[in-house]
Amino acid sequence: MAKSAKVILLRMEDTFALTTPTASTELFQELQAAASKIVLPQGAILFRRGEAPTGVFLVLGGSVNLELEGVGGPGAVRSHGPGSVVGLPASLSGNTYSLTAQVAEDASLGFIPRAKFLELMAKSPPLCLQVMQILSEEIGHSRTLTEALLRNGNKRGPAS
């Protein structure tokens, strides 16, 4: 007999108290120089979970929300403001985007196509190190979230 799936709900302040990963000023300037500038209105979608990666987005102004959608309704949201880089994991790995990115407030963005971003990475060890730091922060955030999910799931007991 199959067990029912557990539904675990967390308060936003429990899971997303960590700061969003932002690039150093030098890295951000280097990326800005390589980026195409775009302005998008609130509600515009940059990419959706499950889509092939097209590149990375630099948040220059406004904000972008990253959401885990398609897993039983809207998921947790993290807001990224100026200085943030979104789309890194998929753009580096070539795997599909794992989150959906939507403009939360009218945004000024820089876009770097995946191939160009990978070329920049190949030519700049300092850029590689900074990107590794950003991704390490994301891994730490994911582990904190997983721990909170497991802790809260254990408090609730088995699903009926």
| Tens digits of residue pLDDT in 87-135 | 999 999 999 998 999 999 999 999 999 999 999 999 988 888 888 888 8
DSSP state of 84: B
pLDDT at 29 over 60: yes
| Tens digits of residue pLDDT in 38-49 | 999 999 999 999
Q: Which of 140, 132, 129 is nearest to 18 (CA)?
A: 140
Handedness of CA 125, 141, 79, 93 (dihedral sign): positive
For residue 6, the model assigns a pLDDT of 34
Q: Give the chain's domains with CATH numbers.
A: 36-147 (2.60.120.10)
Amino acid symbol at 128: C
pLDDT at 7 over 60: no
Confidence label for 23 from pLDDT (cuts 50, 70 and 90): low
Q: pTM (2 decimals)?
A: 0.75
